Amino acid sequence: GLRPSRFWVTDDGLVVVASEVGVLDLDQSTVIQKGRLQPGRMFLVDTEQGRIIGDEEIKRSLAEAAPYGDWLQEGLLHLDDLPDRFLLTPQHSSVLKRQRTFGYTEEELKILLSPMARTGAEPIGSMGTDAPIAALSQRPRLIFDYFAQLFAQVTNPPLDAIREELVTSTSSVIGPEGNVLQPGPDSCRQIVLPHPVISNEDLAKVLYLNEDNDHPEFKSFAIDGLYPVAEGGAGMRTAIEDIQAKVSEAITGGAKIIVLSDRYSNADNAPIPSLILTGAVHHHLVRNRTRTEVGLVVECGDAREVHHMALLLGYGAGAINPYLAIETIEDLIEEGAITEVDSKTAVRNYIKACSKGVLKIMSKMGISTVASYTGAQVFECVGLSHQLIDDYFTGTTSKLGGIDLDVIAEEVALRHQFAYLENPEEVAHRDLWAGGEYQWRREGEFHLFNPETVYRLQHSTRTGQYELFKQYTQLVDTQSEELATLRGLFTLTPNEGGPIPIDDVEPVSDIVKRFSTGAMSYGSISAEAHETLAIAMNRLGAKSNTGEGGEDTERFTPDSNGDSRRSAIKQVASGRFGVTSEYLVNSDDIQIKMAQGAKPGEGGQLPGPKVWPWIAKTRHSTPGVGLISPPPHHDIYSIEDLKQLIHDLKNSNPDARIHVKLVAEVGVGTVAAGVSKAKADVVLISGHDGGTGASPLTSLKHAGGPWELGLAETQQTLLINGLRDRIVVQTDGQLKTGRDVIVAALLGAEEFGFATAPLVVSGCVMMRVCHLDTCPVGVATQNKELRARYDGKAEFVVNFFEYVAQEVREYLAELGFHSIEEAVGRVDCLDVNRAVNHWKADGLDLSPILHIPTSPWEQDRFCSQSQDHGLDKALDQELIEQAQPALQEGTPVRIEMPVSNVNRTVGTLLGHHLTKTYGGDGLPDDTIDINMTGSAGQSFGAFVPKGITLRLSGDANDYLGKGLSGGRITLQPPSNASPNFIAEENVIAGNVILYGATAGEAYIRGVVGERFCVRNSGATAVVEGVGDHGCEYMTGGTVVILGSTGRNFGAGMSGGVAFIFDPDDEFHRNLNNEMVDLESSLSEEDSDSLREIIRRHLDETNSTVASTILDRWHQYVRSFKKVMPKDYRRVLEAIATAEEHGQDVEEAVMAAAKG
pLDDT of residue 428: 57
pLDDT in tens, 408-444: 999 999 999 999 987 766 655 678 888 878 787 777 7
pLDDT of residue 690: 80
738-741: long-range pairs with CB below 8 Å, 24+: 738/473, 738/804, 738/805, 738/806, 738/807, 738/808, 738/810, 738/811, 739/473, 739/477, 739/480, 739/487, 739/492, 739/807, 739/811, 740/480, 740/487, 741/804, 741/807, 741/808
pLDDT of residue 1078: 98
pLDDT of residue 31 exceeding 60, the answer is: yes
pLDDT in tens, 841-894: 777 888 899 999 988 889 999 999 999 999 999 999 999 999 999 999 999 999
Tell me the CATH number for domain 876-1125: 2.160.20.60
Closest CA to 1043 of 1059, 1062, 1056: 1062
Start-to-end Cα distance in the chain: 38
Overall average pLDDT of the 619-637 stretch? 93
pLDDT of residue 429: 60
Confirm whether pTM is higher than 0.85.
yes
Overall average pLDDT of the 627-646 stretch? 95
848-864 in b/e burial notation, b at 16+ Cβ within 10 A? ebeeeeeeeeebebbbe
pLDDT of residue 592 exceeding 90, the answer is: yes
pLDDT in tens, 1052-1063: 999 999 999 999
pLDDT in tens, 1113-1145: 999 999 999 999 999 999 999 999 999 999 999
pLDDT > 90 fraction of the chain, expressed in percent and rounded: 83
Tell me the CATH number for domain 476-488+509-594+633-823+831-843: 3.20.20.70
pLDDT in tens, 686-723: 999 887 877 888 888 899 999 999 999 999 999 999 99
pLDDT in tens, 523-577: 899 999 999 999 999 999 999 999 999 999 999 999 999 999 999 999 999 999 9
More confident residue, 945 or 840: 945
Sequence-distant (≥ 6) Cβ neighbours of residue 749 within 8 angstroms: 685, 711, 729, 730, 731, 824
pLDDT of residue 478: 84
Location of each CATH 2.160.20.60 domain in the chain: 876-1125
pLDDT in tens, 459-504: 999 999 999 999 999 999 887 666 678 998 899 999 999 999 999 9
Sequence-distant (≥ 6) Cβ neighbours of residue 240 within 8 angstroms: 227, 272, 276, 277, 280, 392
Location of each CATH 3.20.20.70 domain in the chain: 96-119+133-419, 476-488+509-594+633-823+831-843
* 96-119+133-419 CATH choice from 3.10.28.10, 3.20.20.70, 3.50.50.60, 1.10.540.10: 3.20.20.70
Average of per-residue pLDDT values in the chain: 94
Q: What is the DSSP letter of 857?
A: S
pLDDT of residue 268 exceeding 90, the answer is: yes
Q: How far is CA 266 from CA 96, 322, 390, 428, in A?
A: 13, 18, 30, 18
Overall average pLDDT of the 44-51 stretch? 92
pLDDT of residue 327 exceeding 80, the answer is: yes
